[in-house]
Chains A and B, each alone.
Chain A
Amino acid sequence: MTVLSVENLQTHFFTDAGVVKAVDGVSFSLEEGEVLGLVGESGSGKTVTGFSILRLVDPPGRVTGGRILFRGQDLAKLPDREMRRLRGNRIAMIFQDPMMTLNPVLRIDTQMIEAVQAHEKVSKAAARDRAVQALARVGIPSPAERLNAYPHQFSGGMRQRVAIAIALLNGPDLIIADEPTTALDVTIQSQILAEVQGLARETGTSLIWITHDLAVVAGLADRIAVMYAGRIVESGPASAILTAPAHPYTAGLLGSIPGHGRRGDRLTQIPGMAPNMAHLPPGCAFAPRCPRVSDACRATAPEVTETGAGRALRCLHPLTEAVA
């Protein structure tokens, strides 16, 4: 069953310096229990995509086109009150900056108890119990004693985990997790990934996992969508994309990973700079940095083409050896 379907989403910011097309024609869908890894260049529109789904885009930004269906229901048509009820209950977002979730002047227990009671009639004691369990699940030691601390008394990674715990509190159908484990070490990361993997399998929760950590998506995601300059440039089953990338940007991304006994060497970086989203080139946005570019790429932006086996691509010259 399709939980979420995003069709040709466009979200633009109308700034003094021009229109920033942060999201420009993004489409994807998500089945029950499916994990979609959303990866891509910093500034390519991943967070804004998540914000658009939750209707959290503030002026001068606006969703200017497309549709977002949650279980068949058009979210743009939902009254504010119902949208608020959906948020944090059936759709939860884990923000890139945990302080977007946490209020710096309130104790953690106050915030977590509120989050439970906002959507369910339970006693304070029961809500508190649930908060303790949620903190334990994300690997916070002595959760009961830690609950009455303020956010600044936690380490960066602990704050990130509290934000994750809050998202898990009400057992949502869809979680949009925005770089949730960036600051976490491997042990805690595995703990959290084990939790969400369990959720997806046992309760059918669907996940959009926004990350730049390709090793995490490799282990967790069923499908991957790669964003560049406001568009999904490549999507498909995770293993296929990681072992045989077809888009030159995806290939460049995979080639930049440090490690692998290259101590101290210069790392490969994709040449050139991320495009200015207020002044995108007319053709393919990656053209100025692409090793396979031709005149055709500079003239017209490539359309989405399905290349079989559930893969789709926006590129005129895919890495042919990749298309087995």
Chain B
Amino acid sequence: MSAMLELQGVSRVFEKKLDAIEKFARTLGANVSESRVNAVDSASFEVARGEVVGLVGESGCGKSTLGRMVAGLLPVTKGTIRFEGVDVTDARTEAAKAARLRVQMIFQDPMSSLNPRMRVNDIVGEAAVFHGLTTKREMTDYVADLMTKVGLDPSYAQRFPHQFSGGQRQRIGIARALAVQPEFLICDESIAALDVSIQAQVINLFQDLRRDLDLTYLFISHDLGVIEHIADRVVVMYLGRVVEIAPTGELFDGPKHPYTQALLDQVPKLEAGHREYHTIKGEIPSPLNPPPGCHFHPRCPLAGPRCKSEAPRLIHDGPRAVACHLNDGGVA
């Protein structure tokens, strides 16, 4: 399999400089400081054509940031992104612009990504007309077909986004992304607000498109049931770093990284009945001030002295990869 998408040491840092007021406040002794978030820290993995790669990890671990860099919407601080072998890291290059149309992203926040003053018909159809995928005259039919596919009544095409429910809006975002016939789709929590029946319909649609059009996906979701269902491989992130990569079956049957193990342990079961929920044990790590060594060590039940000082490397073994000292000579 040749890689369609290839990430090499991709990083993104957000820096917050002090504004004038804060600088002044600091001279008076206030506790403000410049901050630096290493939102994505040297991520490397590949996605083959026709593959579905699931991206999972705690809220705030850098999934959307990674997705936006792949979509060319956010500059990369360090590292290289290749699309079909061509370097597209710098979004201003011609190569990157050409790739951009073929890579579409469905955003996590549907409301803020839909123009409130445009009707759905135009939101979904405009780009397709612009790129010659349909004509102005045929646009309404083109849009109606897409709306039906995502479970929206085409008679709603003249409505504005605020006239829809949350889940309906999310489907407008999906229809808009599909309208330009992308080859690579980044889905950022794209079905999170849908009830399970419509979720099933959209997942089935994604599977059909993949089969019929060889569509490739980077599928970001916190819902492990959905990931288990749809993904071929899973990339697990923790506090900006990739900690495990594995084929889906192997990951769910035998997670190797202690964080992945903890994650899979917590999946709520429908059968469980009334449950006691628990607050998070151990300190929640902050990306502003990440723990040294392995970022997971303060919460890890298996951590040893080495984990506190040395960051584990991502070590590949066949189709799997793990970043944990237990897999690389032990924690002592």
A residues whose Cβ falls under 8 Å from a Cβ of B: 13, 15, 17, 39-43, 46-47, 96-97, 99, 139-142, 144-146, 148-149, 153-158, 161, 178-179, 182-191, 193-195, 197, 212, 214-216, 218-220, 238-239, 242, 252-254, 256-259, 262-270, 273-274, 276
Contacts and interface: CB of A to CB of B under 8 A. Distances in A.
18 contacts: A15-B159, A46-B165, A99-B109, A182-B193, A184-B222, A185-B57, A187-B263, A190-B277, A191-B280, A212-B193, A212-B196, A215-B269, A218-B273, A238-B274, A254-B270, A257-B225, A269-B200, A273-B153
A183 B108 contact: yes
Most buried by B among A40, A158, A267: A267
Contact of B151 (A185, A257, A263, A273): A273
Q: How large is the interface on B (under 10, 10 to 19, 20 to 34, 35 or more residues)?
A: 35 or more
A185 B58 contact: yes
A270 B64 contact: no
B284 A139 contact: yes
Contact of A263 (B159, B192, B249): B249
B155 interface: yes
Contact of B197 (A191, A219, A253): A253
Contacts of A197: 276-277
Contacts of B193: 42, 96, 179, 182, 212
A78 to B, nearest CB: 26
Contacts of B168: 42-43
A227 to B, nearest CB: 10
A125 B31 CA distance: 13
A216 B207 contact: no
B59 A184 contact: yes
Contact of A258 (B156, B228, B279): B228
A185 B222 contact: yes
A268 B229 CA distance: 13
B200 A267 contact: yes
A188 B56 CA distance: 13
A156 B108 contact: yes
Interface in B247-285: 248-249, 262-263, 266-280, 283-285
Top 9 A-B residue pairs of the complex, sorted by shortest distance between their CB atoms: A42-B167, A157-B59, A259-B225, A219-B275, A141-B286, A267-B200, A194-B277, A212-B195, A142-B286
A152 to B, nearest CB: 9
Interface of B: 14, 16, 22, 31-33, 35, 56-60, 64-65, 108-112, 148, 151, 153, 155-156, 158-159, 163-168, 171, 188-189, 192-201, 203-204, 207, 222, 224-226, 228-230, 248-249, 262-263, 266-280, 283-289
A183 B200 contact: no
Contact of A158 (B33, B60, B289): B60
Contact of A42 (B59, B166, B268): B166
B166 A267 contact: no
B143 to A, nearest CB: 16
Contact of A262 (B65, B229, B289): B229
A148 B200 CA distance: 40
Contacts of A266: 204, 207
A41 B198 contact: yes
Given A42-B195, A212-B193, A263-B248, A185 B275 contact: no
Contact of B225 (A13, A258, A265, A274): A258
Given A41-B198, A239-B273, A274 B151 contact: yes
Most central of A183, A195, A242, A276 by chain B CB within 10 Å? A183
Contacts of A219: 268, 272-275, 277
B275 A186 contact: no
Given A258-B200, A269-B200, A187 B58 contact: yes
B288 A253 contact: no
B225 A141 contact: no
A193 B268 CA distance: 12
Contacts of A178: 166
A154 B288 CA distance: 12
Contacts of A269: 197-198, 200-201, 204
A188 B59 contact: yes
A151 to B, nearest CB: 10
Nearest to A156: B108
B166 A47 contact: yes
